Amino acid sequence: MAIRIKAIREEFEAACADGCVYGHLRGKRGLYVYAELGAEKEHISSPNDEPMTEYRIFVSS
């Protein structure tokens, strides 16, 4: 199950494998989270992706 987190630009760019990120949990109004990241994986685009949005995928081990 994918959990989508919207992070500010600085957090997005600084995110790295086995790091962490602060952001807003998508779909939950006003719910801010701290997420520990796993290994980074290549993002494969889908037709539902917003064209002006950058995506990164991290998976837990």
Averaged pLDDT, groups of 10, the chain, 61 residues long: 89 95 89 95 92 92 69
Question: Of 43, 26, 44, which is closest to residue 35 (Cα–Cα)?
Answer: 26
Domain boundaries, the chain: 5-59
Q: Are 22 and 42 in contact (CB under 8 A)?
A: no
Identify the pLDDT of residue 9.
94
Length of the chain counted residue by residue:
61
Helix/strand/coil for 6: strand
Identify the pLDDT of residue 56.
95
Identify the pLDDT of residue 8.
93
Report pTM. Answer: 0.78
